[in-house]
Structure 1
Amino acid sequence: MATVLSVSGSPSPVSRTARLLRLLDARLRDLGHEVIPLDARSVPPEALLGGDLGHPALRELAALVEAAEGVVVATPIYKAAYSGLLKALLDVLPQYALSGKTVLPLATGGSVAHVLAIDYALRPVLTSMGATHVVPGWFTLDKDIATGADGTVTVAPAATEALEQVVDAFSVALHGRAHLFTPAG
Protein backbone atom coordinates (compact mmCIF):
# COMPACT_ATOMS: atom_id res chain seq x y z
CA MET A 1 0.00 0.00 0.00
CA ALA A 2 1.12 3.58 0.59
CA THR A 3 3.70 5.27 2.78
CA VAL A 4 2.06 7.78 5.11
CA LEU A 5 3.84 10.51 7.06
CA SER A 6 1.85 11.13 10.23
CA VAL A 7 2.62 14.61 11.62
CA SER A 8 1.62 15.81 15.08
CA GLY A 9 1.75 19.59 15.29
CA SER A 10 1.37 19.68 19.07
CA PRO A 11 4.07 21.29 21.20
CA SER A 12 3.01 19.30 24.28
CA PRO A 13 4.83 16.15 25.40
CA VAL A 14 1.52 14.85 26.84
CA SER A 15 -0.60 15.87 23.89
CA ARG A 16 -4.04 14.39 23.37
CA THR A 17 -3.60 15.29 19.70
CA ALA A 18 -0.43 13.19 19.38
CA ARG A 19 -1.94 10.30 21.33
CA LEU A 20 -5.04 10.30 19.16
CA LEU A 21 -2.90 10.45 16.04
CA ARG A 22 -0.79 7.47 17.11
CA LEU A 23 -4.01 5.52 17.68
CA LEU A 24 -5.05 6.37 14.12
CA ASP A 25 -1.58 5.38 12.87
CA ALA A 26 -2.31 1.87 14.15
CA ARG A 27 -5.52 1.79 12.10
CA LEU A 28 -3.62 2.87 8.99
CA ARG A 29 -1.09 0.09 9.60
CA ASP A 30 -3.96 -2.39 9.99
CA LEU A 31 -5.17 -1.19 6.58
CA GLY A 32 -1.77 -2.11 5.11
CA HIS A 33 0.00 1.25 5.01
CA GLU A 34 3.52 1.98 6.15
CA VAL A 35 3.25 4.81 8.69
CA ILE A 36 6.11 7.08 9.66
CA PRO A 37 5.26 9.08 12.80
CA LEU A 38 6.70 12.57 13.22
CA ASP A 39 6.20 14.88 16.18
CA ALA A 40 6.91 18.46 15.10
CA ARG A 41 8.21 19.14 18.60
CA SER A 42 11.09 16.73 17.90
CA VAL A 43 12.49 19.01 15.17
CA PRO A 44 15.24 21.21 16.66
CA PRO A 45 13.79 24.66 17.44
CA GLU A 46 16.88 26.45 16.12
CA ALA A 47 16.36 24.82 12.72
CA LEU A 48 12.62 25.64 12.61
CA LEU A 49 12.82 29.18 13.92
CA GLY A 50 16.03 29.98 12.07
CA GLY A 51 14.72 28.58 8.80
CA ASP A 52 18.09 26.90 8.29
CA LEU A 53 17.20 24.80 5.24
CA GLY A 54 20.68 23.26 5.28
CA HIS A 55 20.15 21.88 8.79
CA PRO A 56 20.23 18.05 8.71
CA ALA A 57 16.89 17.82 10.55
CA LEU A 58 15.15 19.99 7.94
CA ARG A 59 16.73 18.09 5.07
CA GLU A 60 15.49 14.86 6.68
CA LEU A 61 12.03 16.39 7.15
CA ALA A 62 11.85 17.42 3.49
CA ALA A 63 12.97 13.93 2.44
CA LEU A 64 10.27 12.29 4.60
CA VAL A 65 7.58 14.49 3.06
CA GLU A 66 8.87 13.85 -0.45
CA ALA A 67 8.92 10.07 0.03
CA ALA A 68 5.39 9.90 1.45
CA GLU A 69 2.37 9.30 -0.74
CA GLY A 70 0.04 10.49 1.97
CA VAL A 71 0.33 12.86 4.90
CA VAL A 72 -1.82 13.04 8.01
CA VAL A 73 -1.56 16.43 9.70
CA ALA A 74 -2.94 16.66 13.23
CA THR A 75 -2.99 19.78 15.36
CA PRO A 76 -4.50 21.15 18.50
CA ILE A 77 -6.51 24.29 17.85
CA TYR A 78 -5.26 27.38 19.65
CA LYS A 79 -7.01 30.74 19.24
CA ALA A 80 -9.11 29.46 16.31
CA ALA A 81 -6.14 28.22 14.25
CA TYR A 82 -3.64 25.38 14.01
CA SER A 83 -0.59 25.42 16.28
CA GLY A 84 2.29 27.82 15.76
CA LEU A 85 4.66 24.88 15.87
CA LEU A 86 2.86 23.28 12.93
CA LYS A 87 2.99 26.63 11.11
CA ALA A 88 6.76 26.82 11.67
CA LEU A 89 7.17 23.28 10.36
CA LEU A 90 5.08 23.91 7.24
CA ASP A 91 6.94 27.17 6.63
CA VAL A 92 10.33 25.47 6.31
CA LEU A 93 9.11 22.95 3.75
CA PRO A 94 9.41 23.73 0.04
CA GLN A 95 6.45 25.68 -1.39
CA TYR A 96 5.01 22.67 -3.19
CA ALA A 97 6.14 19.98 -0.73
CA LEU A 98 2.67 18.39 -0.77
CA SER A 99 2.40 18.24 -4.54
CA GLY A 100 1.03 14.86 -5.58
CA LYS A 101 0.12 13.96 -1.98
CA THR A 102 -3.17 12.93 -0.44
CA VAL A 103 -3.59 14.74 2.88
CA LEU A 104 -5.84 14.11 5.88
CA PRO A 105 -6.22 17.09 8.26
CA LEU A 106 -7.20 16.37 11.87
CA ALA A 107 -7.69 18.72 14.80
CA THR A 108 -8.46 18.60 18.48
CA GLY A 109 -9.77 21.33 20.73
CA GLY A 110 -11.69 22.20 23.82
CA SER A 111 -14.76 23.71 22.18
CA VAL A 112 -16.99 23.13 19.18
CA ALA A 113 -16.42 26.82 18.44
CA HIS A 114 -13.17 25.69 16.77
CA VAL A 115 -14.64 23.01 14.53
CA LEU A 116 -14.25 25.08 11.35
CA ALA A 117 -10.54 25.72 11.93
CA ILE A 118 -9.68 22.78 9.69
CA ASP A 119 -11.52 24.26 6.72
CA TYR A 120 -10.73 27.93 7.30
CA ALA A 121 -7.19 27.81 8.67
CA LEU A 122 -5.48 24.51 7.85
CA ARG A 123 -6.98 23.36 4.53
CA PRO A 124 -5.96 26.53 2.60
CA VAL A 125 -2.33 26.13 3.67
CA LEU A 126 -2.25 22.45 2.70
CA THR A 127 -3.81 23.27 -0.66
CA SER A 128 -1.37 26.12 -1.27
CA MET A 129 1.45 23.64 -0.71
CA GLY A 130 0.21 21.65 -3.69
CA ALA A 131 -1.70 18.82 -2.01
CA THR A 132 -3.39 16.89 -4.79
CA HIS A 133 -6.28 15.77 -2.62
CA VAL A 134 -7.12 17.08 0.85
CA VAL A 135 -9.74 14.62 2.07
CA PRO A 136 -12.41 15.70 4.55
CA GLY A 137 -10.82 15.96 7.97
CA TRP A 138 -12.18 15.65 11.47
CA PHE A 139 -12.27 17.74 14.64
CA THR A 140 -12.32 15.85 17.94
CA LEU A 141 -13.19 17.44 21.26
CA ASP A 142 -10.53 17.10 23.96
CA LYS A 143 -13.16 15.69 26.32
CA ASP A 144 -13.67 12.77 23.93
CA ILE A 145 -10.02 11.65 24.30
CA ALA A 146 -8.98 10.00 27.57
CA THR A 147 -5.62 8.63 28.60
CA GLY A 148 -5.38 5.94 31.25
CA ALA A 149 -2.70 5.77 33.94
CA ASP A 150 -0.95 3.11 31.83
CA GLY A 151 -0.89 5.42 28.79
CA THR A 152 -3.71 3.72 26.90
CA VAL A 153 -5.89 6.04 24.87
CA THR A 154 -9.64 5.71 24.65
CA VAL A 155 -11.91 7.77 22.46
CA ALA A 156 -15.64 8.32 22.93
CA PRO A 157 -17.66 5.89 20.77
CA ALA A 158 -19.21 8.52 18.47
CA ALA A 159 -15.82 10.13 17.87
CA THR A 160 -14.23 6.72 17.29
CA GLU A 161 -16.78 5.87 14.62
CA ALA A 162 -16.29 9.21 12.85
CA LEU A 163 -12.49 8.94 13.01
CA GLU A 164 -12.56 5.41 11.61
CA GLN A 165 -14.66 6.66 8.70
CA VAL A 166 -12.29 9.53 7.84
CA VAL A 167 -9.21 7.30 8.17
CA ASP A 168 -10.84 4.64 5.99
CA ALA A 169 -11.76 7.29 3.38
CA PHE A 170 -8.16 8.54 3.46
CA SER A 171 -6.94 4.98 2.91
CA VAL A 172 -9.30 4.56 -0.05
CA ALA A 173 -8.09 7.88 -1.50
CA LEU A 174 -4.48 6.68 -1.14
CA HIS A 175 -5.35 3.43 -2.86
CA GLY A 176 -7.03 5.32 -5.71
CA ARG A 177 -4.04 7.64 -5.95
CA ALA A 178 -1.73 4.66 -6.43
CA HIS A 179 -3.80 3.58 -9.43
CA LEU A 180 -3.48 7.05 -10.93
CA PHE A 181 0.31 6.80 -10.99
CA THR A 182 0.78 3.11 -11.79
CA PRO A 183 0.89 2.08 -15.44
CA ALA A 184 -1.80 -0.40 -16.40
CA GLY A 185 -0.50 -3.75 -17.25
Structure 2
Amino acid sequence: MTKVTIIAGGHSVQSRLTGVLHHVQQHLTINGIDVHIIQVHQLPSSALIRADFSNEEVVKAIELVNESDGVIVLTPVYKASFSGILKTFLDLLPQKALQGKPVLPFVLGGTYGHLLVIEYALKPIIHQLGATFVQSGVYVVDQQVTKQESGDYLLDSDATNRLNLALSQYQSLIGGTANVVHP
Protein backbone atom coordinates (compact mmCIF):
# COMPACT_ATOMS: atom_id res chain seq x y z
CA MET A 1 0.00 0.00 0.00
CA THR A 2 1.24 3.47 -0.87
CA LYS A 3 2.17 5.49 2.21
CA VAL A 4 2.04 9.29 2.49
CA THR A 5 3.06 11.36 5.48
CA ILE A 6 1.52 14.78 6.01
CA ILE A 7 3.72 17.17 7.95
CA ALA A 8 1.36 19.74 9.48
CA GLY A 9 3.17 22.87 10.60
CA GLY A 10 0.31 24.64 12.35
CA HIS A 11 0.16 25.68 15.99
CA SER A 12 -3.25 24.22 16.88
CA VAL A 13 -5.69 21.54 15.83
CA GLN A 14 -8.46 24.13 16.23
CA SER A 15 -7.43 26.19 13.21
CA ARG A 16 -8.62 26.41 9.61
CA LEU A 17 -5.46 24.55 8.64
CA THR A 18 -7.11 21.50 10.20
CA GLY A 19 -9.95 21.86 7.71
CA VAL A 20 -7.47 21.60 4.84
CA LEU A 21 -5.69 18.72 6.58
CA HIS A 22 -8.93 16.76 7.03
CA HIS A 23 -9.86 17.27 3.38
CA VAL A 24 -6.46 16.06 2.19
CA GLN A 25 -6.48 13.08 4.55
CA GLN A 26 -10.00 12.06 3.52
CA HIS A 27 -9.21 12.37 -0.20
CA LEU A 28 -6.11 10.19 0.07
CA THR A 29 -7.69 7.61 2.38
CA ILE A 30 -10.74 7.17 0.12
CA ASN A 31 -8.32 6.47 -2.71
CA GLY A 32 -6.49 3.70 -0.85
CA ILE A 33 -3.49 5.66 0.40
CA ASP A 34 -2.09 4.88 3.86
CA VAL A 35 -1.94 8.35 5.47
CA HIS A 36 0.15 9.29 8.50
CA ILE A 37 0.10 12.74 10.07
CA ILE A 38 2.83 14.53 11.97
CA GLN A 39 1.34 17.43 13.94
CA VAL A 40 4.62 19.20 14.60
CA HIS A 41 3.18 21.29 17.46
CA GLN A 42 2.42 18.05 19.32
CA LEU A 43 6.06 16.95 19.33
CA PRO A 44 7.99 17.84 22.49
CA SER A 45 8.98 21.49 22.17
CA SER A 46 12.22 21.00 24.10
CA ALA A 47 13.26 18.24 21.70
CA LEU A 48 12.50 20.45 18.69
CA ILE A 49 14.29 23.50 20.04
CA ARG A 50 17.33 21.57 21.23
CA ALA A 51 17.45 19.41 18.08
CA ASP A 52 17.25 16.29 20.24
CA PHE A 53 17.66 13.57 17.64
CA SER A 54 17.41 10.91 20.35
CA ASN A 55 13.93 11.94 21.52
CA GLU A 56 11.60 8.99 20.96
CA GLU A 57 8.77 11.04 19.44
CA VAL A 58 11.13 12.90 17.12
CA VAL A 59 12.72 9.60 16.05
CA LYS A 60 9.26 8.16 15.25
CA ALA A 61 8.31 11.25 13.24
CA ILE A 62 11.52 11.10 11.21
CA GLU A 63 10.94 7.36 10.60
CA LEU A 64 7.46 8.14 9.25
CA VAL A 65 9.01 10.49 6.70
CA ASN A 66 11.75 8.00 5.81
CA GLU A 67 9.24 5.15 5.29
CA SER A 68 6.85 7.19 3.13
CA ASP A 69 6.41 7.01 -0.61
CA GLY A 70 5.46 10.69 -0.64
CA VAL A 71 5.24 13.68 1.67
CA ILE A 72 2.72 16.50 1.90
CA VAL A 73 3.79 19.67 3.70
CA LEU A 74 0.98 21.77 5.13
CA THR A 75 1.61 25.16 6.73
CA PRO A 76 -0.04 28.44 7.59
CA VAL A 77 1.58 31.71 6.54
CA TYR A 78 3.23 33.70 9.33
CA LYS A 79 5.18 36.90 8.70
CA ALA A 80 5.15 36.28 4.93
CA SER A 81 6.70 32.82 5.29
CA PHE A 82 5.86 29.31 6.44
CA SER A 83 5.61 28.59 10.15
CA GLY A 84 8.70 28.54 12.34
CA ILE A 85 7.58 25.34 13.99
CA LEU A 86 7.58 23.64 10.58
CA LYS A 87 11.10 24.95 9.88
CA THR A 88 12.25 23.64 13.25
CA PHE A 89 11.03 20.14 12.37
CA LEU A 90 12.40 20.24 8.82
CA ASP A 91 15.79 21.14 10.30
CA LEU A 92 15.75 17.81 12.16
CA LEU A 93 15.28 15.73 9.01
CA PRO A 94 18.35 14.09 7.50
CA GLN A 95 19.91 16.06 4.64
CA LYS A 96 18.37 13.90 1.88
CA ALA A 97 15.21 12.81 3.73
CA LEU A 98 12.95 13.72 0.81
CA GLN A 99 15.09 12.21 -1.93
CA GLY A 100 12.97 10.07 -4.25
CA LYS A 101 9.73 11.21 -2.62
CA PRO A 102 7.26 13.42 -4.48
CA VAL A 103 6.37 16.38 -2.27
CA LEU A 104 3.18 18.42 -2.39
CA PRO A 105 3.01 21.74 -0.49
CA PHE A 106 -0.24 23.24 0.78
CA VAL A 107 -0.32 26.71 2.33
CA LEU A 108 -3.11 28.54 4.15
CA GLY A 109 -2.87 32.32 4.32
CA GLY A 110 -4.90 35.40 5.11
CA THR A 111 -4.60 37.01 1.67
CA TYR A 112 -3.35 36.16 -1.80
CA GLY A 113 -0.58 38.68 -1.13
CA HIS A 114 1.48 35.81 0.30
CA LEU A 115 0.89 33.40 -2.59
CA LEU A 116 4.58 33.27 -3.46
CA VAL A 117 5.43 31.73 -0.07
CA ILE A 118 5.28 28.35 -1.78
CA GLU A 119 7.82 29.26 -4.47
CA TYR A 120 10.22 31.51 -2.59
CA ALA A 121 10.17 30.22 0.98
CA LEU A 122 8.92 26.65 1.17
CA LYS A 123 10.17 25.01 -2.03
CA PRO A 124 13.85 25.93 -1.54
CA ILE A 125 13.88 24.15 1.83
CA ILE A 126 12.09 21.12 0.38
CA HIS A 127 14.62 20.94 -2.46
CA GLN A 128 17.47 21.28 0.04
CA LEU A 129 16.13 18.12 1.72
CA GLY A 130 16.70 16.20 -1.50
CA ALA A 131 13.29 16.35 -3.15
CA THR A 132 13.65 16.15 -6.90
CA PHE A 133 9.97 16.56 -7.67
CA VAL A 134 7.95 19.17 -5.84
CA GLN A 135 4.47 19.66 -7.19
CA SER A 136 3.17 23.21 -7.73
CA GLY A 137 1.15 23.18 -4.53
CA VAL A 138 -2.04 24.91 -3.54
CA TYR A 139 -2.53 28.18 -1.68
CA VAL A 140 -5.85 28.46 0.18
CA VAL A 141 -7.13 31.70 1.72
CA ASP A 142 -8.54 31.63 5.27
CA GLN A 143 -11.95 32.79 4.05
CA GLN A 144 -12.24 29.62 1.95
CA VAL A 145 -12.38 27.48 5.10
CA THR A 146 -15.31 27.80 7.50
CA LYS A 147 -15.61 26.12 10.87
CA GLN A 148 -19.08 24.66 11.37
CA GLU A 149 -21.00 24.53 14.67
CA SER A 150 -20.33 20.77 14.72
CA GLY A 151 -16.59 21.47 14.81
CA ASP A 152 -16.10 20.21 11.26
CA TYR A 153 -14.69 22.44 8.54
CA LEU A 154 -16.25 23.33 5.21
CA LEU A 155 -14.08 24.32 2.25
CA ASP A 156 -15.54 26.43 -0.53
CA SER A 157 -15.85 24.95 -4.01
CA ASP A 158 -12.82 26.78 -5.46
CA ALA A 159 -10.48 25.53 -2.72
CA THR A 160 -11.98 22.04 -2.90
CA ASN A 161 -11.54 21.83 -6.67
CA ARG A 162 -7.94 23.06 -6.58
CA LEU A 163 -7.01 20.71 -3.72
CA ASN A 164 -8.66 17.74 -5.44
CA LEU A 165 -6.89 18.44 -8.73
CA ALA A 166 -3.51 18.70 -7.03
CA LEU A 167 -4.16 15.52 -5.02
CA SER A 168 -5.23 13.58 -8.12
CA GLN A 169 -2.05 14.64 -9.93
CA TYR A 170 -0.02 13.78 -6.84
CA GLN A 171 -1.52 10.30 -6.65
CA SER A 172 -0.32 9.60 -10.18
CA LEU A 173 3.22 10.38 -8.98
CA ILE A 174 3.12 8.11 -5.95
CA GLY A 175 1.34 5.21 -7.58
CA GLY A 176 -2.08 5.66 -6.02
CA THR A 177 -4.14 6.45 -9.11
CA ALA A 178 -6.52 3.51 -9.12
CA ASN A 179 -10.11 4.77 -9.18
CA VAL A 180 -9.43 8.30 -8.01
CA VAL A 181 -12.50 9.47 -6.08
CA HIS A 182 -13.16 13.09 -5.16
CA PRO A 183 -14.77 13.44 -1.74
**TM-score after normalising by structure 2:** 0.93
CA distance in 2 between counterparts of 1:25 and 1:136 reads 19
Segments of 4+ moved more than 6 angstroms? none
Give the structure with the higher percent helix.
Answer: 1
Partner of 1:67: 67
CA distance in 1 between counterparts of 2:74 and 2:18 reads 7
Partner of 2:35: 35
Contact 1:7-1:37 at 8 Å conserved across structures: yes
Deviation at 1:13, TM superposition (A): 3.2
CA distance in 2 between counterparts of 1:49 and 1:19 reads 27
Partner of 1:87: 87
CA distance in 1 between counterparts of 2:127 and 2:35 reads 22
In structure 1, stretches of 5+ residues that fail to align are 177-185
RCO (CA 8 Å, sep 6+): is it higher in 1 or 2?
2
Contact 1:75-1:82 at 8 Å conserved across structures: yes
Identity %, equivalent residues:
34
Q: Map 1:142-161; keep pairs closer than 5 Å.
A: 142-161=142-161
CA distance in 2 between counterparts of 1:37 and 1:13 reads 12
Deviation at 1:132, TM superposition (A): 2.8
Deviation at 1:95, TM superposition (A): 1.1
Deviation at 1:5, TM superposition (A): 0.3
Amino acid in the other structure paired with 2:22: R
In structure 2, stretches of 5+ residues that fail to align are 177-183
SS at match of 2:167: helix
CA distance in 1 between counterparts of 2:99 and 2:139 reads 24
CA distance in 2 between counterparts of 1:19 and 1:160 reads 11
Q: Map 1:10-159; keep pairs closer than 5 Å.
A: 10-159=10-159
CA distance in 2 between counterparts of 1:84 and 1:61 reads 17
Deviation at 1:42, TM superposition (A): 0.9
CA distance in 1 between counterparts of 2:6 and 2:164 reads 16
Aligned length: 176
Amino acid in the other structure paired with 2:13: P
For structure 1, which segment, 97-106 or 16-25, has the greater mean C-alpha deviation from structure 2 after superposition?
A: 16-25
Amino acid in the other structure paired with 1:25: Q
Deviation at 1:18, TM superposition (A): 2.4
Contact 1:18-1:74 at 8 Å conserved across structures: no
Partner of 1:162: 162
Deviation at 1:125, TM superposition (A): 0.4
CA distance in 1 between counterparts of 2:72 and 2:13 reads 19
CA distance in 2 between counterparts of 1:164 and 1:13 reads 22
